[in-house]
Amino acid sequence: MSRRIMLIPVGTSVGLTTVSMGLVRALEEQAIKINFFKPLAQPRRGDNGEERSTTIISHHCSVKPITPFELGYVEQMISSDNTDELLEEIIERFEQHQQSDAVTVIEGLVTTRHHPYAERLNLEISRALDADIVFVCVPGNENPVDINHRLEIVVDTYGGHKSKKVVGCIFNKVNAPLDEHGRLRADIGAIDAPEHDEERCVALRSLPIFSKGLAFLGSVDWNADLVSPRAIDVAKHLDAQLINEGDIASRRLSSVTFCAREIHNMTHALKPGALLVLSGDRSDVFVSCCLAALNGTKLGALLLTGGYSIDENIQKLCNQAMETGLPVMSVNTNTWQTAQGLHAFNQEVPVDDSLRIEKVMVHTAESLDASWVTSLTEKVSRQKKLSPSAFRFYLTNRARQVNKRIVLPEGNEPRTVVAAAICAKRGLARPVLLGEEAEIQRVAAQQGVSLGEGVEILSPSAIRGQYVEGLVALIGHKGVTDVVANELLQDNVTLGTMMLQHDDVDGLVSGAVNTTANTIRPALQLIKTAENASLVSSVFFMLLPDQVLVYGDCAINPDPNAQQLADIAIQSATSAEMFGIEPRVAMISYSTGDSGAGSDVEKVREATKIAQSLRPDLLIDGPLQYDAAAIESVGRSKAPNSPVAGKANVFVFPDLNTGNTTYKAVQRSFDLVCIGPMLQGMRKPVNDLSRGALVDDIVFTIALTAIQAAGA
């Protein structure tokens, strides 16, 4: 039987939902079947609709959670002394809806003054479902003796150290900012995040209880970035009136400043992410804030108190600042009342804040003991499909391991600068930005990021001369002289490509500004194909809701012949394997099997035979129509003996027209994230971006390039 893990809170406000999310994400990376079950809904103040944990995991993981029982029904059953019947119903619902041979994460109840029965019910549910127990604890500012005592009490409640079901403990919100009473700060006021306290972590690991059989399973550091709400969340909390909506749904608030001083004494507060609270009649402060926005400072939002209206002439003067996306909202309460309201703000992540949820899940997953997570997968059947979230998790984890140096020729492009900072901070790569340092640092400041030691900035003018001779040696036969070479190297993409050619970097990512042609052309001219490749092709990773598909070739080869098509199939299968996808390759055509004829079908049929002969170890079949390749029922009907039909995850299209049209149709019709094109068959990795790429797209492409460079 597969494992069942029940997360039990030790106290209140332990971040149980966060730990559940992180554990599910960590298990997803193992590509196994997962169940999630919060048996009983426990809504928090202000919650409406579906249970929070269940909703978040259903929307952001490749898991279909089991529906919890409503709290009202549970309390009715308990009050009428029908607890045993309730437990039977919980078991029945679990058995009806769980996936077999899966790891199940079960989230317990939090004991509060409104739910005093939670502790007893957690114990009974854990026994009823035969679940292993993992405690979730917040150390706060308690000393190790008190923390150990608290854990000893709860371990005894669940059977003591001799119980094989009591597994371990996860510490959450470690090193969190505390108020004078030792409680976690609940407001979003300006507060400096504490530095990582290694001594504290060592002390937690060394608690006497961990020498008695209880396992230390992870320590999740508190992170200020993960508690930054959106401006819209604060607006909803305060029931504020929107004067200018702007980017209210996406702007993050990292600090709060109450603007009661003269403007020259508070210019330091005009920084990215700041929520500036000011009386609605302080036109001077309002205008100053708008001026900062016009100068590129991405303020979080303006909050006007007192119910005052902005003077019409002042508003007209600041219209251009409003167009930068600056959110402006107003409340009728005075500044003191507004401050009290902000102090009461609930910092739990909203169920619709996808970006923050993703960051929380990744951060928590990375903080769990990897060996323990892996142990949960033993004797569990492997899942054939790799989910998008698991794929992204794989990218970041693998990139961190290989630690490659990636050049970014568009060094002063804002999204690229932010992506470089993220990659360096998370250890995904060692990014090299090409551009002038002063300009790049200015862009970074405008974007609210700091470029630390992990980001290297190189001035093109300072290094260009190093590559003139090498460029002449490569293409001098085409009439390229030193003068022409120097002119060609004025293009940063060409310069970055030469850096890659000379092994000064491990990979190149461009395309946020440059076209695909401008990104790829220097690579084709200078890097050229690998020794074992007859051509250069490309793949896109299509992140469908429940799995990742590989599409090739959708960007490079207009009309490949049979041999070339076979090479594309093998290259695409190899790329899939490199990124944790077990390839099942479908050679796509308008006909399945022997049902059709014509030169186009014959090309695909011949290509399939060539690919099968070259790589008999791979599952490759064709020709297959797309529906026969993708849909299991259609595959059984049209190609019943095919090992690929209905199960394909690598789709090789017969020509560029078909491939490019298909990938764009699928992407746009279903609003999918699509990573690529990733070039394959080149000696060294060069990858292109969409000019509409988001910061996350660039981050994942950098990670992908790093993994390519490692050849793993």
Q: Average pLDDT in the 219-244 region? A: 90
Strands (E), 384-429: 405-408
DSSP 637-656: HH-TT-SSTTT--EEE-SSH
Tens digit of pLDDT for each residue in 604-656?
A: 999 999 999 999 999 999 999 999 999 988 999 999 999 999 999 999 999 99
Mention every residue, 6+ apart, whose C-beta is less than 8 A from residue 251.
230, 231, 273, 298, 300, 301, 325, 327
In DSSP terms, 550 is beta-bridged to 541, 650
501: left (phi over 0), alpha (psi -120 to 50) or beta: alpha
What is the pLDDT, as a whole number, of residue 410? Answer: 95
Side chain identity at residue 453, one-letter code: E
* Cα 636–Cα 637–Cα 638 angle in degrees, nearest 5: 100
Distance CA 644, CA 331 (A): 61
- The b-or-e profile of 80-103 (16+ CB within 10 A means b, else e) is eeebeebbebbeebbeeebbeebb
Q: Are 13 and 184 in contact (CB under 8 A)?
A: yes
Cα(276)–Cα(299) distance, rounded to whole angstroms? 8
CA distance readout (Å), 255 to 280, 387, 444, 546: 20, 35, 19, 37
In this prediction the pTM is: 0.67
pLDDT at 47: 64
SS (HEC) of 446-462: HHCCCCCCCCEEECHHH
Note the pLDDT tens digit of each residue in 195-204. Answer: 667 788 888 8
2 pLDDT exceeds 80?
no
Pairwise CA distance, residues 263 & 279, whole Å = 13
CB 651 within 8 A of CB 586: yes
pLDDT on residue 255: 86
Could you tell me the pLDDT band of residue 382, with boundaries at 50, 70 and 90?
very low
Say how far apart CA 535 and CA 562 lie, in whole Å.
13
Question: Mind listing the pLDDT tens digit for each residue in 417-439?
Answer: 999 999 998 889 999 999 999 99
Task: Please tell me the predicted confidence (pLDDT) of residue 686.
Answer: 93
Nearest to 516 by CA among 657, 275, 700, 679: 679
pLDDT of 238-253, one tens digit each?
A: 999 999 999 999 999 9
pLDDT over threshold 90, residue 84: no
Helix (H) / strand (E) element for 142: namely none
Residues 6 or more apart in contact with residue 586 via CB below 8 angstroms: 621, 622, 624, 629, 630, 644, 645, 648, 650, 651, 652
pLDDT above 80: residue 182: no
- Name which of 334, 344, 339, 346 is nearest 233 in CA terms: 346
Stretch 104-131: mean pLDDT: 88
Average pLDDT of the residues in 583-592: 95
In this predicted model, what pLDDT tens digit does every residue of 642-661 receive, in sequence order? 999 999 999 999 999 999 99
Residue ranges in 230-311 assigned as alpha helix (H)? 231-238, 283-294
Q: How many Å apart are CA 676 and CA 690, to the nearest integer? A: 8
Give the pLDDT mean for 483-512.
Answer: 93
**pLDDT score, position 397:** 80
Q: For residue 32, give the nearest of 398, 393, 367, 387 by alpha carbon.
A: 387
Does 553 sit behind a cis peptide bond, omega within 30 degrees of 0 on the bond before it? yes
Closest by alpha carbon to 219, among 103, 139, 131, 132? Answer: 139
Q: How many percent of the chain have pLDDT more than 70?
A: 95
> What are 510-533's pLDDT values in tens digits?
999 998 888 888 998 899 888 888
Across the range 460-489, mean pLDDT stands at 89
- What is the reported pLDDT for 309? 82
Provide the token pair at 252. Answer: 């993050």
Q: Is the pLDDT of residue 190 over 50?
A: no
- CA separation for the pair 427, 480 (Å, rounded): 39
Dump pLDDT digits (tens) for 19-75.
999 999 999 888 788 899 999 988 876 666 678 888 889 888 888 899 999 988 999
Span 166-176, pLDDT tens digits: 999 999 998 88
Q: What is the mean pLDDT of the chain?
A: 88
Name the least confident of 384-388, 392-396, 427-431, 679-683. 384-388
